[in-house]
Amino acid sequence: MLQSIEQYINELDLKLKGLPKDEREHHLAEIRDHLLERMEEGDPEARVVQSFMAPDKMSEEILQEYRQRNAQTFEHPNYWFVLAAISVIAPFGALALPIIQENYYAGPQFAVLLQLLIGSVALFGYFRKKLNEERVAILKKMGRLMIPILALPFGFFSFSIIRTEEWSSFNFIYLLLYLLVWLIYYISLRKVYQSSIA
């Protein structure tokens, strides 16, 4: 049986994992405030917690409202999140092309960099506090896609050497820069994932 406010909040937090993080935190802060005020008015902590709506029932009602709200929206609830994640990962395919071209064409690459920039702002800014269980699962799958994408720059690099039978300094420097940017993004994605499951 629950004895303390923190126990109640922790249990409710676990049961509300289906909600986006910021929404979940708003609910928990509001309920914690309610319980603390009752305690400040003189009710013993255990009684405050035990007479409050049980975490099972509370989470069921909150999640039901969330599901109904999502069902009323035209788009898939995670449509924009998936789009943001794709916008962060897909550009790494296109960004490998200069290696096989042995030249950097700023024009076509501008669109790719713009997509990466917009995707990054959306994913690491807007969605960072709006992660729920489904989005975290999507993030994990997308993050794992980053690794096979690395086959492209290395493949292009090898192909370029085979074709020209010599090392290109441009390709080598570009590959290093590519790997640096890739690593920054991979670590950032992993951090967002780890903070969301903590």
Residues that bind other proteins (CB under 8 A): 26-27, 29-31, 33-34, 36-38, 51-53, 58, 61-62, 64-65, 69
Q: 4 burial class (0-12, 13-18, 19+ CB within 10 angstroms)? A: middle
Q: Which residue's CB is nearer to other proteins, number 34 or number 163?
A: 34
Q: How far is CA 9 from CA 13, 56, 80, 87, 196, in A?
A: 6, 12, 30, 36, 17
Q: Taking the alpha carbons of 145, 146, 147, 149 in that order, is the dihedral positive or negative?
A: positive
Contact of 3 with 11, CB cutoff 8 Å: no
CB atoms within 10 A of CB 96: 22
Q: Which is nearer to other proteins, 59 or 160 (CB)?
A: 59
> What is the smallest separation between the CB atom of 81 and other proteins, expressed in angstroms?
20
Tell me the C-alpha distance between 97 and 94, whole Å. 6
Nearer to other proteins, 27 or 190 (CB): 27
User: Residue 196 Cβ, how far from other proteins at the closest point, in Å?
Assistant: 22
CB of 122 to other proteins, least distance (A): 24
Distance CA 169, CA 31 (A): 61
DSSP class of residue 167 equals -
Closest separation between CB of residue 89 and other proteins, Å? Answer: 33
Is the CB of 69 or the CB of 191 nearer to other proteins? 69
**CA–CA distances in Å: residue 131 to residues 83, 90, 189:** 14, 21, 13
**Min separation Cβ 110 and other proteins, Å:** 41
Closest to other proteins by CB, 72 vs 169, is 72
Q: Which is nearer to other proteins, 49 or 88 (CB)?
A: 49
> Shortest approach of other proteins to residue 41 CB, angstroms?
9
